Amino acid sequence: MSTIKDFSYSHPIKTVLEAGALKNRLVDEIKALNADKILLVTDPGVLNAGLLNDAEVALKNGGITYKVFADVEPNPRTDSCYRGYEMAQEMEAGLIVAIGGGSPIDVAKAIALLMTNGGDLESYEGPEKYKNAPLPTICVPTTSGTGSETTAMTVITVKARNYKMTILGKNMLPNVALLDPSIFGKMPPFIAASTGMDALTHAIESYTNLIANPFTDAYGVEAIRLIGKYLRHFVAQASDLEAATGMLVASNLAGIAFGQVRLGNCHAMAHPLGGFFDVPHGVANSILLPHTMKYNMLADHGKYKVIAQLLGEDVSRMTDLEAAPYAVEAVEKLSKDIGIPENLGLYGVTQDKIPQMSKDAMLSGNIKINPRCTKLADIEALYRGAI
Ligand SMILES: [Fe+2]
């Protein structure tokens, strides 16, 4: 096991887990932040599933003025953020509420940032590049994968460059995360599967990277345990409240972990797949994860044995070295059981973009903290193995 390195830890966000929170708690949390005009950011899937209905009744009854911005796509782009920003400006919103998966939450964070800083989103790319604290945000995740409701960053696609940029800063952290497992019942199985594997990727990458610390290890371990216990049940029946709660908590814990110590090669490689081919983020990570885990096995100091055990493998009598491949095998078995495809060909990903995608992946800060040293040729080989 790795020795403990210096670290700094801070995570000031109110997190509420309650079945029915969207209906019963949202208005109170808005009022607690002294807001009476809000922009509600979501996407067409959430809207059409009727997930906003109860919340809208509660908002009306609570005397909150609101508008709905639902024009958010997967791998959301800068133009969506600007359109939402315009709407928020027009209504003089004092708070942004996101109800959705990672995409609406990331767009909500970008709109909150634009509301107080204006200007060009691309100029805020990187850590702490903006001047003023964003508007307050409340996030209600409708998938259990992204963890974006608890991270101080937003990932937005710049289509002109086919590039997913990350904007981060301590003030980007949402004010409140409302975790409501009762709204997960209509989630399609493949969304449950791919977003759940994204959460597993967050947990495994933050647990095994070079700057993991005892806090994030604790979050990561519990997230992996919950995902091993509940993801299959959740994909089988998203309305199973116990499984939905387990996955929602796992996703949040993994989000806290990677929000503190970031990720690794898998996420560095997943972002260009979204930028070039619009592969949904969860799908990209799900398919890449076993490949990057195999690559990183050489750097393992015993954490792979823990992962294997947490995912149900009996490796107790094995050495760390003997047990490590079972962690990869457990992830592969889980992926197969829940219907994740084995390669990216199904998503139109072609070999000719590997050189450019690999260069973009190498720009990610996640490469430098990946447990095994990684060069451009390594990334190219990993892409070739997954396409
Ligand atoms: Fe992710």
Q: How far apart are CA 246 and CA 373, in angstroms?
A: 34
Q: State the angle between helix axes of 189-208 and 241-261 in degrees (0 to 180), rounded to the nearest 10.
A: 40
Predicted confidence at residue 5, as pLDDT, reads 85
Residue 306 Cα to ligand 1 midpoint, Å, equals 21
Predicted confidence at residue 17, as pLDDT, reads 97
Q: For residues 162 and 120, is the Cβ–Cβ distance under 8 A?
A: no
Residue 316 Cα to ligand 1 midpoint, Å, equals 30
Residue 60 Cα to ligand 1 midpoint, Å, equals 34
Q: How far apart are CA 207 and CA 216, in angstroms?
A: 7
Predicted confidence at residue 144, as pLDDT, reads 93
Residue 288 Cα to ligand 1 midpoint, Å, equals 12
Residue 52 Cα to ligand 1 midpoint, Å, equals 25
Q: Which fold has domain 189-386?
A: Dehydroquinate synthase-like, alpha domain (1.20.1090)
Q: In what order do the strands lie in the sheet with 14-17?
A: 14-17, 176-179, 137-141, 95-100, 37-41, 65-69
Residue 284 Cα to ligand 1 midpoint, Å, equals 9
Verdict on whether the full-model pTM lies above 0.85: yes
Residue 286 Cα to ligand 1 midpoint, Å, equals 10
Residue 318 Cα to ligand 1 midpoint, Å, equals 31
Residue 324 Cα to ligand 1 midpoint, Å, equals 23
Domain boundaries, the chain: 14-183, 189-386
Residue 314 Cα to ligand 1 midpoint, Å, equals 28
Alpha carbon 189 to its chain's center = 18
Q: For residues 286 and 193, is the Cβ–Cβ distance under 8 A?
A: yes
Predicted confidence at residue 2, as pLDDT, reads 52
Domain spanning 14-183: CATH 3.30.450.30: no
Residue 147 Cα to ligand 1 midpoint, Å, equals 8
Residue 196 Cα to ligand 1 midpoint, Å, equals 10
Residue 3 Cα to ligand 1 midpoint, Å, equals 26
Residue 31 Cα to ligand 1 midpoint, Å, equals 31
Residue 377 Cα to ligand 1 midpoint, Å, equals 23
Residue 98 Cα to ligand 1 midpoint, Å, equals 18
10-residue mean pLDDT profile of the chain (387 residues): values are 79 96 97 97 95 95 97 95 98 98 97 96 96 98 95 95 92 97 94 96 98 97 98 98 98 97 97 92 94 98 98 97 98 96 92 96 96 98 96
Phi, psi of 122 (to 5 degrees): -60, -25
Residue 198 Cα to ligand 1 midpoint, Å, equals 5
Q: Residue 337's closest CA among 188, 219, 236?
A: 236
Q: For residues 153 and 170, is the Cβ–Cβ distance under 8 A?
A: no
Residue 145 Cα to ligand 1 midpoint, Å, equals 7
pLDDT tens per residue, range 232-290: 999 999 999 999 999 999 999 999 999 999 999 999 999 999 999 989 899 999 999 99
Residue 37 Cα to ligand 1 midpoint, Å, equals 31
Residue 267 Cα to ligand 1 midpoint, Å, equals 6
Residue 381 Cα to ligand 1 midpoint, Å, equals 21
Residue 92 Cα to ligand 1 midpoint, Å, equals 32
Residue 323 Cα to ligand 1 midpoint, Å, equals 26
Residue 96 Cα to ligand 1 midpoint, Å, equals 22
